[in-house]
Amino acid sequence: MSVSNKNISSVIRILRREVKSLPDPSVTLVGKKWHDPFLVLISCILSLRTKDQTTLPASERLFALADNPQAMLSLSATQIQKAIYPVGFYKTKAHNILGICQGLLERFQGKVPDNLEDLLTFKGVGRKTANLVLTEGFGKLGICVDTHVHRISNRFGYVNTKTPEETEMILRKQLPKRYWIEYNTLLVMWGQNMCKPVSPLCSRCALMKMCSRKGVHKSR
């Protein structure tokens, strides 16, 4: 059996129930704590290729130094690097953050744009980050597809795609819009704790009977 539009509502209900005791993803926590699209954007940049347990403390250290584009530009790249280390590619991210802040001030009066097209014009901002800023920073519709969303959507048979961008496009066509904002958070939490990349915990999974387990060669 696999997940389809006929049972996706059941899948969402089950995931909502199952993740209640699990920690929120780092960027979701930033959105809930500060309610600031700029801080969500910067946290998204830091989260790329970095685990949540590293991303959130790094975000908090940086935000203690600067919490708006103007203040961020008063810092040097070296100061930002020291604050965000050891996130992945911290040197590149420090320079990208400064470039984003400069662009925000020059082109958007220091405000983070609330549309995908403008967000994608910034260096270091891809579709995953842009969609996450829309959903977590503005509460607007978007479908953020990271490695967990891409893997699990394919694993339980809801999509059949090769790349995250292809997964996003298919989800935009078939996932009911009422689930768009929460879909990323639910699958990230599930992917980090249950439906892991290698040896997922299938024997304990509440979705076991609905899942096609595509690509799963070893499980627990």
Work out the pLDDT band at 1, boundaries 50, 70, 90: confident
Work out the pLDDT band at 157, boundaries 50, 70, 90: very high
Neighbours of 32 (CB within 10 A): 10
Apex CA 80: angle with CA 138 and CA 88, to 5°? 80
Q: Which amino acid is at 200?
A: P
What is residue 174's predicted lDDT score, i.e. its pLDDT? 97
Tell me the average pLDDT across 133-156: 97
Tell me the domains of the chain and their CATH numbers: 8-23+142-210 (1.10.1670.10), 26-137 (1.10.340.30)
Work out the pLDDT band at 18, boundaries 50, 70, 90: very high
Output 188-191 pairs: Cβ under 8 A, ≥24 positions apart: 188/25, 188/146, 188/148, 188/149, 189/19, 189/22, 189/23, 189/24, 189/25, 190/15, 190/18, 190/19, 190/148, 190/152, 191/147, 191/148, 191/149, 191/151, 191/152
Work out the pLDDT band at 102, boundaries 50, 70, 90: very high
Query: Among residues of the chain, what percentage have pLDDT more than 90?
Result: 97
Tell me the average pLDDT across 134-140: 96
pLDDT over 80 (residue 210): yes
Do residues 74 and 155 touch, judged by C-beta distance below 8 A? no
The dihedrals phi and psi of 49, each to the nearest 5 degrees, come to 55, 30
Report pLDDT digits (tens) over 59-85. 999 999 999 999 999 999 999 999 999
pLDDT over 90 (residue 116): yes
Q: What is the pTM of this model?
A: 0.93
Tell me the average pLDDT across 101-120: 98
What is residue 2's predicted lDDT score, i.e. its pLDDT? 86
For the record, the structure tokens of 16 come out as: 């909502």
Q: Give the number of C-alpha atoms closer than 13 A to the C-alpha of residue 73, restricted to the C-beta side.
A: 11
Work out the pLDDT band at 200, boundaries 50, 70, 90: very high
Tell me the average pLDDT across 153-177: 97
Mean pLDDT of the chain: 96
Work out the pLDDT band at 5, boundaries 50, 70, 90: confident
Tell me the average pLDDT across 151-172: 97
Apex CA 50: angle with CA 62 and CA 203, to 5°? 135
pLDDT over 90 (residue 56): yes
What is residue 161's predicted lDDT score, i.e. its pLDDT? 97
Apex CA 97: angle with CA 93 and CA 100, to 5°? 135
Tell me the average pLDDT across 39-58: 96
